[in-house]
Amino acid sequence: MTRPGFVLDVDERTPPLLVHEGEGFRLQRFPLGTQVVYPPDPLPGIRDVPGAIREALLHPQGSEPLPELLHPGMRLTIAFDDISLPLPPMVQPDIRQRVIEQVLEMAARKGVEDVKIVVANSLHRRMTPSEIKRAVGERVFRSFWPGDLSNHDAEDPNGLTHVGVTDRGEDVEISRRAAESDLLVYVNINLVAMDGGHKSVPVGLGSYRSLKHHHNVHTMLNSRSYMDPPSSALHGSAARMGRLLADHLKVFTVETTLNGETFPSRFGFLNKREWEWSVKDQAMFLAAKRANDRAPSGIRREIFRRIEAPYGVTGVNAGETEAVHERTLENLHRQQVVEVNGQADVLVVGLPYICPYNVNSIMNPILVQCLGLGYFFNLYRGKPLVRPGGPMILFHPVPWEFHQVHHPSYVDFFDEVLAETTDPSALEAKYEQQYATDPWYVHLYRNSYAYHGVHPFYMWYWGAHAMDYLGDVIFVGADRKAVSRMGFRTASTFADAMEMASETVGGSPRTTYFHAPPIMLADVR
Amino acid sequence: MGSLAEDVRELARGWRWTRRPLTPESAEPWAPPVEPRTFPTNWARTPPARAAREAILRYAFRPLVWTETDPNVEGLDHLRDLSPPVMFVANHSSHVDTPLVLCSLPKQWRERTAVAAAADYFFDVWWRAATTALVFNTFPIERAGGKHATSTARRLVEEGWNLLVFPEGTRSRDGWMGRFRHGASRLCLEYRMPVVPIALRGTFAAMPRGRSWPVPGRVPISVRFGPPVLPEPGEEFRSLTPRIQAALSRVWEEDRTTWWESLHRERRGEIRPPTGPAGPRWLRVWEATRPPPRRRPPRIWRG
């Protein structure tokens, strides 16, 4: 029995607490009475993962067993989640590799020869060959790359099919190969509650024409939160699209969930509660922090990039999308949900070095905003962790840095669009279409390793709910210029940030520190 | 009647000048056959010997083998769901096979793996026995069989050691896979041990019989681990041996073509053990020394 997550009240005996701040971490003292939300301990992983996968494929939910769906002469397409999952990348073999290998073994036994494997990268950057090889394993990669294993191209005029329009007028356009297959097997990793379900196929294999119906400010403002699918307009839209697709295409979904083993043993202290640190953990913290603080930024980034999570697999479910996703969410909640009583006046978070869009890349200011106001703020069920109009304090240096290959449109978005307005609705109306259809961004998306031109807009919309809800956003220890470009404020120290927050909430606010990662989902009562 | 000189000459013919006269075999008194003495190797698995072996393999053999040849190791992920003891089974055509497999294994597997070595070859003199036992953690196997042929192997499995076995019993003379002996299967069945097949391609080209150093030119070598073969309840060694050989052949085929192609060939029953083309020996050697393709992209900058 693993320990559930819990809420700690900071008292005199509470040691300084670990706070992530980008490619670094610090120990921070919190005011007495601060509530600290800790994630549950990692659940034990399944011991026989291949057996669990086989069981899921042979006894699926709401569908015939996979071997019965396979026959000679059919067209089989396998799509899988891209580099944005899991975070950090998991120790090999990746769970996607294990699932895909078993699907292919069954297909081979049934004499299926026409097989294509597609990275469901949507409008994300293409995965490099080495990244794909890492995800699917050497056997699959050498068998299928490059002819039958490729990235999805959401801008290929000949590679897309308009499947139809939902009853709310939403266009459903996905990969032609997937749409024309006899069977589409989707292999997912459900790291957070937002992932998976009907969001997998219509989004992962969709196009801008399709995505714009739910990746917009209006939908995001009505997704409260998008980490809680029943309360999320984003998921409502994706579900309508998914159901329409299910009428045209047989989809066999395989969803997997992981436990909370986010950091390898050498960074074991990052997985532990501070008062349980051994002498070795303390020594490791000191050594890691000292070395990290002194290392040049390039080396520091490289060290963090090489972190591989020793995740255990907590569940594998397969079959009909909705039946599968229900079980997946149960599994996920078993690992991640923490009950929290009441909302705080001030919410404090430490942002780590990685988010879904900067794997093997740089976390630029827009992605910092997305991670903080998008992901972390929305990791709740019921009500946000902070009361309406309350301030949010975030730890991150927010360097004014961009990856020129991966994020070219982000550079222009930051320099041109945010310089004019930070209002999501205003910039959506004025600039989105221009960026989404810019031929140079389209060219880079299709031929280089660039995120789509419209992607920085989506990242900004991701934080729209938080921007609308919060009274103030304060970054501690950040680049003042970069933060002010985004319309937020900067404090040198946490004490200064609390001082600034007191303008909104008074001198003795009820403060909550959300102690993540590992990822958790606050169930606020 | 002969002369004295002739009699002396006749006697001298039966006299052994350098040794004492031999008793004819049929006139020897019966004595129970003497079991060959087993060379003690327990000392090679003590902590100091293990530490020395790890240092030798990691800092001497691995750089040496990886410098002189160009190995490509794949399929180690199959070990993820296994726990010791397992039996590694590989085809055998070179003295480089053993260090190659040991250095390919992750440390936690390597330090718990012992290697079966022919008693009559590696354990004939003390210095050779001691050296191989220290460096490769070998233990003797009587190739001719006998009551104690696998007694050390049994004890090692009971103590939780993985075994590396070359079931062909000797190095291939032409680079192709030979007939598998049943000893490995018997042991697996007795202890319900999983068998991990390892296909070694290119080692014959790199260092065939008769050579004591790899050929120049960094010959590409492929080391490919396959999925484990599990003994089935009630299975006999006569059926397990061909299953192990078939699994190894499938892994060989996977390396030669692709994993997907090998699955299809397996379904169609087209996979045969890699016994090489029929024909004269020179042709078989010619084909066996054809190196596997280099899998890594060529280096752009050459220093």
Q: pLDDT, tens digit, for every residue of B87-100?
A: 999 999 999 999 99
Q: Is B74 on the interface with A (CB under 8 A)?
A: yes
Look at residue A278 and tell me whether its pLDDT is greater than 80: yes
Look at residue A203 and tell me whether its pLDDT is greater than 80: yes
* B298 within domain boundaries: no
Under a CB-based contact definition with an 8 Å cutoff, are residues A389 and A504 in contact?
yes
Domain containing B278: what range? 46-288
Domain count of the fold of chain B: 1
- Residues of chain A with Cβ-Cβ distance to B75 below 8 Å are 138-139
Region B201-229: mean pLDDT is 93
Determine the distance in angstroms separating the CA of B259 from the nearest CA of chain A, rounded to an integer: 5
Stretch (H or E) spanning B148: none
* Identity of the amino acid at B151: S
DSSP B149-166: TTHHHHHHHHTT-EEEE-
* Identity of the amino acid at B256: R
* B297 within domain boundaries: no
- d(CA A194, CA A219) in angstroms, rounded, equals 14
* B189 within domain boundaries: yes
- Predicted local confidence at residue B36, as pLDDT: 63
Q: Tell how far CA A109 is from the center of its chain.
A: 35
- Predicted local confidence at residue B98, as pLDDT: 96
Q: Do A48 and B261 touch (CB under 8 A)?
A: no
Mean pLDDT of chain A: 95
Binned at pLDDT 50, 70 and 90, residue B152 comes out as confident
* B117 within domain boundaries: yes
Mean pLDDT of chain B: 88
Q: So where are chain A's domains?
A: 6-40+336-524, 75-258, 269-306
* B1 within domain boundaries: no
Beta strands in A296-414 (DSSP E): 313-319, 337-340, 346-350, 380-382, 391-395
Of B81, B263, B264, the CB nearest to A50: B81
Q: Do A138 and B75 touch (CB under 8 A)?
A: yes
Region B244-254: mean pLDDT is 95
Residue B154 CB: number of other CB atoms within 10 A?
13
| CATH number for the domain running over A75-258 | 3.40.50.11440
Task: For residue B236, give the CATH number of its domain.
Answer: 3.40.1130
Determine the distance in angstroms separating the CA of A285 from the nearest CA of chain B, rounded to an integer: 26
- d(CA B53, CA B60) in angstroms, rounded, equals 10
- Predicted local confidence at residue A261, as pLDDT: 94
- d(CA A167, CA B124) in angstroms, rounded, equals 84
Size of interface A-B (CB pairs under 8 A): 40
- The length of chain B, given as a count of residues: 303
Which of B78, B259, B268, B270 to mutate to probe the A interface, most A CBs <10 Å? B259
Residue B194 CB: number of other CB atoms within 10 A?
18
Of A48, A109, A142, the CB nearest to B259: A142
Q: Do B260 and A108 touch (CB under 8 A)?
A: yes
Q: Do B81 and A49 touch (CB under 8 A)?
A: yes
* B89 within domain boundaries: yes
- Predicted local confidence at residue B148, as pLDDT: 66
Beta strands in A262-390 (DSSP E): 313-319, 337-340, 346-350, 380-382
Under a CB-based contact definition with an 8 Å cutoff, are residues A476 and A394 in contact?
yes
pTM of the model: 0.88
- Residues of chain B with Cβ-Cβ distance to A94 below 8 Å are none
Determine the distance in angstroms separating the CA of B81 from the nearest CA of chain A, rounded to an integer: 7
* B41 within domain boundaries: no
Name the β-bridge partners of A395: A350, A476
Binned at pLDDT 50, 70 and 90, residue B297 comes out as low
Binned at pLDDT 50, 70 and 90, residue B35 comes out as low
Helix (H, G, I), strand (E, B) or coil at B241: helix
Residues near B225 by Cβ (< 8 Å), separated by ≥ 6?
A: B73, B74, B75, B76, B78, B79, B196, B197, B198, B251
Look at residue A82 and tell me whether its pLDDT is greater than 90: yes
- Predicted local confidence at residue B2, as pLDDT: 64
Q: Is B80 on the interface with A (CB under 8 A)?
A: yes
**What does the DSSP 8-state code read for residue A515?**
-
3-state helix, strand, coil in chain A (%, to 5): 40, 20, 40
Determine the distance in angstroms separating the CA of A171 from the nearest CA of chain B, rounded to an integer: 36
Q: pLDDT, tens digit, for every residue of A125-180?
A: 999 999 999 999 999 999 999 999 999 999 999 999 999 999 999 999 999 999 99
Residues near B147 by Cβ (< 8 Å), separated by ≥ 6?
A: B35
Q: Do A93 and B77 touch (CB under 8 A)?
A: yes
Of B77, B80, B258, the CB nearest to A142: B258
Nearest to B92 by CA among B208, B183, B189: B208
- d(CA A193, CA A381) in angstroms, rounded, equals 10
- Residues of chain B with Cβ-Cβ distance to A106 below 8 Å are none
Determine the distance in angstroms separating the CA of A262 from the nearest CA of chain B, rounded to an integer: 18
- Predicted local confidence at residue A507, as pLDDT: 85
Q: How far does chain A reach from its first CA to its final CA, in angstroms?
A: 25
- Predicted local confidence at residue B12, as pLDDT: 73
Look at residue B291 and tell me whether its pLDDT is greater than 90: no
- Name which residue leads in pLDDT, B151 or B64: B64
Binned at pLDDT 50, 70 and 90, residue B23 comes out as low
Topology annotation, domain A6-40+336-524: 2-enoyl-CoA Hydratase; Chain A, domain 1 (3.90.226)
Q: Is B260 on the interface with A (CB under 8 A)?
A: yes
Q: pLDDT, tens digit, for every residue of A384-419?
A: 999 999 999 999 999 999 999 999 999 999 999 999
Determine the distance in angstroms separating the CA of A95 from the nearest CA of chain B, rounded to an integer: 11
* B14 within domain boundaries: no
Mean pLDDT lowest for which of A273-287, B25-39, B129-143? B25-39
